[in-house]
């Protein structure tokens, strides 16, 4: 893909699901990949998959609620591969469908700290290195809940916030040659969703039936969009929330 080869990419939440598939797609395009995740086993597995196909990858355990961890993640890209060109800030947690007045302040704080402030921490660490390198591209993971009323209040608020960060960063750093966009996945067939389906089969069948595409999304479909957004083929796409939902929000 145009402009990805020989670049250096960071993917947070790279140990499973969308993050793993994005890391694999970057590697397929011959980028070197820093796989960041709090899940060491999953992160190591992603690296093994990349290296097994002849790619370059390094795992770094990263808790996006810890600024020192995030700084170390970016430093790993510099130390191992000499710079940073692309980032997919994807690490996050899902909501439990609770109504606004029915969860406590600790639950609110945790959701915001991971899903929103975690993205901000990553941006804060990544942007200066990309600016020094002459530019780059960053994709943040939001959600259909970031552009609609889907999801519980704290989840929706966190994902709306990700889009706000993405747009503001675009305005602040376009002159530094850095592009920012967000992907807004619908219901994607990830381990997180699979677990929810096992816990409530009837609810998952109802959700799937309500998707015009008639199926869940594949993590590879999100990953391919992320890598395209980082490529030169998307050089004029800036500050956009890209909805990938099988037509869910078209209804």
Return the axis-axis angle of helices 40-52 and 17-28, rounded to nearest 10°.
Answer: 30
Q: Which strands form 8-12's sheet, in the order they lie side by side?
A: 57-61, 32-37, 8-12, 86-89, 136-141, 178-185, 241-244
What 3-state DSSP class applies to 144? helix
Distance CA 19, CA 212 (A): 25
Q: List CB contacts of 84: < 8 A, sequence separation 6 or more.
A: 8, 10, 74, 77, 78, 126, 129, 130, 133, 136
Instruction: Dig out the tokens for 51 from the structure.
Output: 């290296």
Instruction: Dig out the tokens for 178 from the structure.
Output: 């850095």
155 is catalytic: yes
Instruction: Dig out the tokens for 191 from the structure.
Output: 């381990």
Integer-rounded Cα radius of gyration of the chain:
17
- Report, in this order, helix, strand and coil percent for the chain, each rounded to 5: 55, 15, 30
Q: Which of 81, 155, 173, 236 is catalytic?
A: 155
Residue 213 backbone phi and psi in degrees, to 5: -65, -15
Provide the residue count of the chain. 251
Residue positions annotated with a catalytic role: 155
């Amino acid at each position: 893909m145009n402009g990805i080869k020989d670049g250096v990419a960071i993917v947070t939440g790279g140990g499973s699901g969308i993050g793993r598939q994005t890391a694999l797609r970057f590697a397929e395009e011959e980028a070197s990949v820093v796989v960041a995740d709090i899940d060491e086993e999953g992160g190591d597995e992603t690296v093994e998959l990349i290296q097994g196909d002849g790619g370059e990858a390094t795992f770094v355990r990263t808790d996006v609620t810890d600024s020192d961890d995030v700084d170390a993640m970016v430093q790993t890209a510099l130390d191992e591969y000499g710079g940073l060109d692309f980032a997919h800030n994807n690490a996050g947690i899902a909501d439990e469908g609770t109504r606004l007045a029915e969860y406590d302040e600790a639950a609110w704080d945790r959701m915001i700290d991971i899903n929103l402030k975690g993205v901000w921490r990553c941006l804060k660490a990544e942007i200066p290195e990309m600016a020094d390198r002459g530019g780059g591209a960053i994709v943040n993971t939001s959600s259909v809940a970031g552009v609609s009323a889907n999801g519980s209040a704290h989840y929706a608020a966190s994902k709306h916030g990700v889009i706000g960060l993405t747009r503001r960063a675009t305005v602040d750093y376009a002159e530094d040659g850095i592009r920012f966009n967000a992907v807004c996945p619908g219901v994607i067939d990830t381990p997180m969703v699979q677990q929810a389906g096992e816990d409530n089969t009837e609810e998952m069948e109802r959700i799937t039936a309500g998707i015009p595409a008639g199926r869940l999304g594949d993590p590879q479909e999100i990953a391919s969009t992320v890598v395209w957004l980082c490529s030169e083929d998307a050089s004029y796409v800036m500050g956009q929330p890209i909805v990938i939902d099988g037509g869910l929000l078209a209804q």
